[in-house]
Chain A
Amino acid sequence: MLKEKKLVLIVDDDLDYLFQTKHHVESFGFDVITAENVKDAISVLTQKPDLAILDLMMETQDAGFVLAYKIKKRYPDVPVIIATAVTAETGLNFHLETEEDKNWIKADLYLEKGIRSDQLHREINKLLKL
């Protein structure tokens, strides 16, 4: 039986990261659509993805959160992964101090960039219940 391939949306403004993530996700057997910024991502959202992987810092430091919010509003059941290189090491952090902030930010998973591709595969499968 031929099953339809799941569609993964990847948004990142680092072209190399975008290319590499797309390459890995396609090798897991998914279809991929990509966008390089929030605006482009929203315009491809007419097509409903099965999962989204978003970079956190794009045009602004919290662009990924904003986009996650918009995706969830439109498709509440689409799992969202936020990938970021922001760690304590870089001296930056999320600046999410208030409960209010935490309430509107909805992501299903937070991933550190540069994780092994087999771990990424496992996490995606978990979220898609495969």
Chain B
Amino acid sequence: MEKLRVLVVDDEPGIRSGVIRILKNYTIGFPFMEEDFSFEMLEAETGEKALEIINNDGADIVLLDNKLPGIQGIEVLEKISKMRLDTAVMMITSYASLDIAVKATNFGAYNFVPKPFTPAELKSSIESISKHLYLKRMTSKMKEEGKQIRFQFLSVLSHELKSPLNAIEGYLKIMEDKQVGENIDDYMSMINRSLLRIKGMRNLIIDMLDLTRLESGKKTRNLQKVDLNYLANMAIDTIKPLAIQHNIKIITEIDEDVTITADLDEIEIIFNNLLSNAVKYNLENGEIHFIVKRNNLGIEIVVTDTGIGISDKDLPKLFGEFSRIKNSETRNISGSGLGLSITKKMIELYNGSIEVKSKPGEGTTFKVIIKS
């Protein structure tokens, strides 16, 4: 069993002994880890003493009170961050002022645990900090071994996955306490919102898998003769139910004979992403023009909608990862923020190009060229 050294820095003996009692016999296991973590507890009543212990013996996790008799917690944190140690610091404090929070974040504090806390809250914070520490060490090990890992991407991803979980958890807590009544009907809107957030999360996971497969290069591309006319009509069938719900008309202009050498899955993803955007960002009773034809450059795919459009300011952000355009018109539209980024990468596999023209309030046109 791997032991993590936890240093509790607080001038109140009661807090120190309480934390030690809670964590002394606590162990954590994660499915992705071979060994469980247990904790070796150390304590210090001042910041000076804490720094001495860290200097001499080291510590993996520091639980740091901000209000201390000598130097303050935030200064201890600053010194730890300057030492560039592999130590995760958690501030245990009443809510800090913005100034301290900003400082603490800049000095790399992992999080804040508000006082007073329950044993369960402390354990869950320790669980998340242990996981963070483990992942951080794994990441730097992988980097040393020359394995690339997109840490920033994973961080944003975890944020994107966390917010629906928070929303759903919040609703469940309200239901658990029966806060708005005894009748299940009183909770219907909360249930529906929860289902919607789950759906969004599922889409994000699907998109993420597409992206991972694409980038790992592990998936062998299965290049074969594919009939774009057939695939285009399949994509229309997929999106039709949603289009009908919003009374959106799909007008098509698809060449009869457009057979190219390509990977079926990739073409499907390109068609599906373009068409589903054209429906999602359209208006009620709108129209979509969907053109697939061969020209002298290759295959041209054009999808035009009569939707809300995109402002010049937002256009450059469009193909970035997790770059959902946020405004009052898009707030009810669910999306992972990955679709167009994936589409663009797919198109690049064919030495192709994608361009976009848009006018707010009038609509958007995506034009794709695929070399064949």
Interface residues of A (CB under 8 A from B): 13-17, 19-20, 23, 27, 36-37, 40, 58-59, 82, 85-94, 96-97, 102, 105-115, 119, 123
Contact = CB atoms under 8 A, between A and B. Distances in A.
Contacts of A115: 114
A82 to B, nearest CB: 7
Contact of B170 (A16, A82, A105, A106): A16
Contacts of B95: 109-111, 123
A87 B179 contact: no
A94 B111 contact: no
Given A13-B326, A110-B96, A123-B95, A96 B162 contact: no
A94 B102 contact: yes
Q: Which of B96, B106, B156, B158: most chain A CB closer than 10 A?
A: B106
Contacts of B162: 85, 90
B156 A94 contact: no
- The interface size bin for chain B is 35 or more
Given A20-B167, A92-B155, A114-B166, 16 more contacts: A14-B163, A16-B167, A20-B171, A20-B174, A23-B180, A37-B327, A40-B328, A59-B326, A59-B327, A89-B111, A90-B159, A90-B162, A91-B152, A92-B156, A114-B169, A115-B114
Nearest to B108: A88
A105 B98 CA distance: 9
B15 interface: no
B193 A89 contact: no
A93 B105 contact: yes
Contact of B105 (A14, A19, A88, A102): A88
Contacts of B156: 90-92
Contacts of B197: 16
A113 to B, nearest CB: 7
A93 B106 contact: yes
Contacts of A15: 193, 331
A119 B167 contact: no
B153 to A, nearest CB: 9
B106 A97 contact: yes
B37 interface: no
A114 B95 CA distance: 14
A36 B114 contact: no
B110 interface: yes
A92 B151 CA distance: 11
B101 interface: yes
Interface string B307-328: 0000000000000000000111
B112 A92 contact: no
Contacts of B101: 110
B145 to A, nearest CB: 21
A71 to B, nearest CB: 14
3 nearest CB pairs, A to B:
A91-B155, A16-B167, A110-B101
B106 A96 contact: yes
A85 B328 contact: no
A37 B106 contact: no
B326 A112 contact: no
